[in-house]
């Protein structure tokens, strides 16, 4: 894999994209991630937030705010972390399962983390394909296709595996009743992302919801001061702002419909997604990726599924995206996927 491909393997990677498409117009429109393009408004914080280590009581208030937001009765079962990626990497070493079934295709770091920890990983096509494995992992909603799994099916899965890890990175904007966190079985861990919904991925904040013994083990493994003072302050404020979350959900619902219509008009088949991204299929996906890149628009491609492209919900630049598709149609009519002028 080339360095530029590696840099964009999870979305983002604008430096690599600029190197790949040096003549693309600026500013770039980055639709390659599932991050809310209109972030939570950052409140002004006193300087001591940056000067001092966060107090344990402040972290507890953050975790209590997360517990309320996720419908968790006991805040002690919620563990703050510097993003969910570190939890994905950490859990295989704490849970130590010889075999793990990953419901896929899904976020590739889950299989990579379990493999790195020495587990034998099998990727299976659905929950019904998971037998009595020592461990199972799935994303709900799934990334990249938005597949949803009912809580009843998750509970049945937890009953037949040793331990269940559910990555709910995109669950904040879903309808109530999708999350396993409020009814957590004693052998399950739920991961919740903060940066995606609130558009603050660079803040590095995420949470694990786990039974008390596992929650203590995760805290011990992360060590003291795992979450920065800024993340503690911003996270507690945002997670408590239910009005902002409702308004954001309403806006994104309309924008997801708008993007689906635009993709359909451009000849894509929309396969699914969430309110933060849409997965679409096109026989000329590779050429379209290049064409959009030459237009200064970055989307997510998949080596394993070359007909797929994932589009984040735009926060602006709708006319520019539509114009790029119009130029693509004109180029296709001329028998080529030409560069942007």
What is the average per-residue pLDDT within 326-331?
A: 82
**What is the three-class DSSP state of 9?**
strand
Q: Same CATH topology for 3-38+244-333 and 48-240? A: no
For residues 146 and 142, give the distance between their C-alpha atoms in angstroms, rounded to a whole number.
5
Average pLDDT of the residues of the chain: 94
**Taking 90 as the threshold, does the pLDDT of residue 4 lie above it?**
no
Q: What is the pLDDT of residue 321?
A: 98
pLDDT per residue over 166-219, tens digit each?
999 999 999 989 999 999 999 999 999 999 999 999 999 999 999 999 999 999
pLDDT per residue over 233-242, tens digit each?
999 999 999 9
- Provide the residue ranges of all domains of the chain, joining segments of one domain with +: 3-38+244-333, 48-240
Confidence of residue 2 (pLDDT cuts 50, 70, 90): very low
pLDDT per residue over 243-278, tens digit each?
999 999 999 999 999 999 999 999 999 999 999 999
For residues 148 and 109, give the distance between their C-alpha atoms in angstroms, rounded to a whole number.
19
Least confident of 12-16, 180-184, 304-308: 12-16
**Taking 70 as the threshold, does the pLDDT of residue 148 lie above it?**
yes
End-to-end CA, the chain: 29
- Is the previous residue joined to 141 through a cis bond, with omega within 30 degrees of 0? yes
pTM of the predicted model as reported, rounded to 2 decimal places: 0.94
Bridge partners (DSSP) of residue 300 are 310
Q: What is the pLDDT of residue 333?
A: 59
pLDDT per residue over 88-108, tens digit each?
999 999 999 999 999 999 999
**Taking 50 as the threshold, does the pLDDT of residue 1 lie above it?**
no
In the DSSP assignment, the letter for residue 283 is: T
Q: What is the pLDDT of residue 332?
A: 66
Bridge partners (DSSP) of residue 270 are 280
Between residues 333 and 14, which one has the greater pLDDT? 14
Q: What is the pLDDT of residue 9?
A: 62
Residue 235 contacts residue 65 (beta carbons within 8 Å): yes
**Taking 60 as the threshold, does the pLDDT of residue 6 lie above it?**
no
H helices of the chain, in order, are 3-7, 14-20, 48-51, 56-70, 84-95, 108-116, 151-160, 195-198, 212-222, 229-239, 242-265, 285-294, 318-333
Task: Tell me yes or no: is domain 3-38+244-333 CATH 3.90.1150.10.
Answer: yes
In CATH, the number for domain 48-240 is 3.40.640.10
**Taking 70 as the threshold, does the pLDDT of residue 79 lie above it?**
yes
For the beta sheet containing 188-193, the strands, ordered from the edge strand earlier in sequence to the opposite edge, are: 78-81, 206-209, 188-193, 163-167, 135-139, 99-103, 120-124
């Amino acid at each position: 894999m080339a360095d530029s491909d590696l840099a964009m393997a999870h979305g983002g990677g604008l430096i690599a994209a600029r190197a790949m498409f040096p003549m693309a117009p600026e500013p770039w429109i980055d639709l390659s991630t599932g991050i809310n393009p209109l972030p939570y408004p950052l409140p002004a914080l006193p300087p001591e937030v940056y000067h001092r280590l966060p107090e344990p009581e402040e972290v507890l208030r953050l975790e209590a705010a997360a517990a309320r937001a996720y419908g968790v009765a006991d805040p002690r079962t919620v563990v703050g972390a510097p993003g969910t990626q570190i939890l994905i990497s950490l859990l295989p070493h704490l849970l130590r399962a010889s075999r793990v079934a990953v419901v896929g295709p899904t976020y590739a770091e889950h299989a990579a983390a379990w493999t790195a920890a020495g587990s034998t990983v099998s990727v299976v096509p659905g929950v019904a394909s998971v037998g009595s494995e020592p461990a199972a992992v799935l994303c709900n909603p799934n990334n990249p296709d938005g597949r949803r799994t009912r809580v009843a099916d998750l509970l049945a899965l937890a009953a037949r595996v040793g331990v269940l890890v559910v990555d709910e990175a995109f669950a904040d904007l879903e309808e109530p009743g999708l999350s396993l966190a409020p009814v957590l079985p004693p052998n399950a861990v739920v991961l919740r992302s903060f940066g995606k919904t609130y558009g603050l991925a660079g803040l590095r904040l995420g949470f694990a919801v786990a039974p008390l013994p596992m929650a203590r083990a995760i805290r011990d493994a992360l060590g003291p001061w795992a979450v920065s003072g800024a993340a503690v302050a911003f996270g507690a404020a945002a997670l408590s702002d239910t009005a902002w979350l409702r308004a954001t959900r309403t806006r994104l619902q309309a924008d997801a419909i708008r993007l689906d219509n635009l993709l359909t008009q451009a000849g894509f088949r929309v396969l699914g997604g969430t309110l933060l991204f849409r997965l679409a299929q096109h026989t000329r996906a590779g050429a379209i990726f290049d064409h959009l890149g030459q237009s200064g628009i970055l989307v997510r491609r998949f080596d394993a599924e070359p007909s797929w492209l994932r589009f984040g919900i735009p926060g602006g630049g709708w006319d520019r995206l539509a114009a790029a598709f119009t130029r693509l149609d004109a180029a296709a009519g001329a028998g080529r996927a030409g560069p942007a002028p």
